[in-house]
Amino acid sequence: MEKLHTALNVQIANWSVLYTKLHRYHWFVKGPQFFTLHEKFEELYNEAASAVDEVAERLLASGGTPVATMKEYLTIATLDETKEESNANEMVSNLVDDYKHLKEELKVLAELADQHGDDVINDLAVGLLVKLDTHIWMLSAYLGE
């Protein structure tokens, strides 16, 4: 169960880093797509905040202890929070990369949950995977990929 709890904490850390990154993008995006991306980034950071809450509550319900400080997030996160994107396309491209990274880790989490017979955590991971697939598709389409 410890491995499953560790994987959940990595998700909490990654979604927290992503939340902060999305907030930064929301504030600093410029250019002709400002209004579209400003609104989209807000939608995505709100979703990231919900993901953090859902995963943390699930971790607590399964007997674990969620990480809950910025220091902890930055220590265990596997997403990079330090990139300095200079334009909207770089921001979107970085998000696609981050979502692909999260997707791979969520697949591992879903498998771990399945191995531990935890259908609720498996469902949570699969639900997040569905959202990420949609985001990857839409943001890649925005980039013309």
What's the Rg (C-alpha) of the chain?
15
Task: Give the pLDDT confidence score for residue 119 in this predicted structure.
Answer: 96
Q: DSSP 3-state assignment of 86?
A: coil
Distance, CA of 132 to CA of 10 (rounded, Å): 17
* CA angle centred on 94, ends 109 and 20, rounded to 5°: 75
Task: State pLDDT tens for residues 45-66.
Answer: 999 999 999 999 999 999 999 9
Task: Give the pLDDT confidence score for residue 1 in this predicted structure.
Answer: 86
Q: Which residues contact 3 (CB under 8 A, 6 or more apart)?
A: 112
Task: Give the pLDDT confidence score for residue 82 in this predicted structure.
Answer: 72
Spatial CA neighbour of 66 closest among 106, 14, 111, 22: 14
Model confidence, pTM: 0.95
Task: Give the pLDDT confidence score for residue 56 in this predicted structure.
Answer: 98
Distance, CA of 145 to CA of 142 (rounded, Å): 8
34 exposure class (CB count in 10 Å sphere: 0-12, 13-18, 19+)? exposed
Class of domain 2-142 as given by CATH: mainly alpha
Q: Consecutive sets of 10 residues in the chain, 145 residues long: mean pLDDT of each? A: 96 98 96 96 98 97 97 97 85 97 98 96 98 98 95
